[in-house]
Amino acid sequence: MRRSRLRHLGLATLLMLGSLSAVGTLPASAADSPTDPAASAGLLDAMQRDFDLTRAEAEDRLAAERRATDLAPTARKAAGNAFGGSWFDAGRGQLTVAVTSEASPATVRAVRATGAHVRTVEHSARRLDAAKTRIDRLDAPAGVSSWHVDPAANAVVVDVVAGERADNDVQRFVTRAREAGPVTVRTVSSAPRTFAAGTVGGDPYYTGNVRCSIGFSVHGGFVTAGHCGGVGGAVRGWDGSHIGTFQGSSFPGNDYAWVSVGSGWWTVPVVLGWGTVSDQLVRGSNEAPVGASICRSGSTTHWHCGRVLAKNETVNYSQGAVHQMTKTSVCAEGGDSGGSFISGDQAQGVTSGGWGNCSSGGETWFQPVNEILNRYGLTLHTA
């Protein structure tokens, strides 16, 4: 990892600033042509490997995801109060928009006119969001992993750890959740955990005896996970030198933080490819839809890809619940916390935690980057 950093002298900050920098493949930045920076040869190679696609299929998927990302706000506006959620359907290569059965024919036509596929559902997104908000107020036991609005299922999905479904506290929670609105219960193999790690040599940054990964460069510093350090905590780089200090941090409830940079360190709008793919420029932070492909790279597990599974999910860590998270099928391991998820050249968020590993698979959540920027009044460093 040090050799990687030294090889990319001009990217020194990103390594410091982006240990878990994830480079991804999402619609917001995907392009119709493989010559576009968002569709670099490295990204296309990763999609071919991780999604079992041909090169042409990977290029087509990136282009379709970009179109879906661009039209999602317009389609939502067209649906109005009948909007039931939206997601990218990889099979169709198209954005799907749910509308309630009360939608007028004119409304359905308006949504279809945007280029989206329309599905009729019973519950509006507003009703599902309200149900999730009521569930957020409940005290969740350890056997409940997380919960989120699933537009395709048209329900709030509550994930319960395998082997804990019969637990009395879990059953009480599920009963109360069902009283809040439409709920579907699913089983997951393990409880979520954060991905910080004890100090290990050759890693991106350290605070106290914890190793974490840097997310994205912002003007004046970088963003990362809140569970990696508290306000005032000193941060050391991969070489042991002082980088800066935590200026803001929130965990649980949220899982984000930002660190000011000084002492000769600087920021650059780049995400490290770790030699698996080419290093990527960050050009913005357009949000990818549910169902879209996404990748991340990290100092511990390097480059892995997957899909966006859910948004606005509440994750029930042992330290407390964290809200407004995005769930992905990408794996991660200890030391990956704080690193970046990216879609093409569009920043998506910083790694928080998950379950599983990169040998057997798993799921990982990230805190959306735009929420962090807005919370602290930061500006993403872009190319």
Which pair of structure tokens corresponds to residue 4? 């990687």
Which pair of structure tokens corresponds to residue 70? 């661009």
Compute the Cα dihedral for 215, 45, 26, 266 and give only its sign: positive
> Could you give the CA distance from residue 6 to residue 15 in angstroms, rounded to a whole number?
10
**DSSP annotation string for 239-262:** TS-EEEEEEEEE-SBS-EEEEEE-
* Secondary structure E strands in 214-319: 217-218, 221-224, 234-237, 242-250, 256-261, 270-271, 280-281, 293-298, 302-317
Beta sheet of 205-207, edge-to-edge order: 197-198, 210-212, 205-207, 234-237, 242-250, 256-261, 221-224, 217-218
Q: What is the DSSP letter of 286?
A: P
Q: How many CB atoms lie within 10 A of CB 374?
A: 10
- How close are the terminal C-alpha atoms of the chain, in Å? 24
Question: What residue type is assigned to position 147 of the chain?
Answer: W
Residues annotated as part of the active site: 227, 255, 337
Tell me if residue 121 falls in helix, strand or coil: strand
Interior angle at CA 243, CA 241 and CA 248, nearest 5? 145
> Could you give the CA distance from residue 29 to residue 181 in angstroms, rounded to a whole number?
36
Contact yes or no for 123/100 (Cβ under 8 A)? yes
Length of the chain: 383
**Which own/partner pairs from 369-373 qualify as long-range (CB within 8 Å, at least 24 positions apart)?**
369/215, 369/216, 369/223, 369/285, 369/340, 370/285, 370/287, 371/254, 371/256, 371/324, 372/223, 372/256, 372/258, 373/218, 373/223, 373/285
Contact yes or no for 258/218 (Cβ under 8 A)? yes
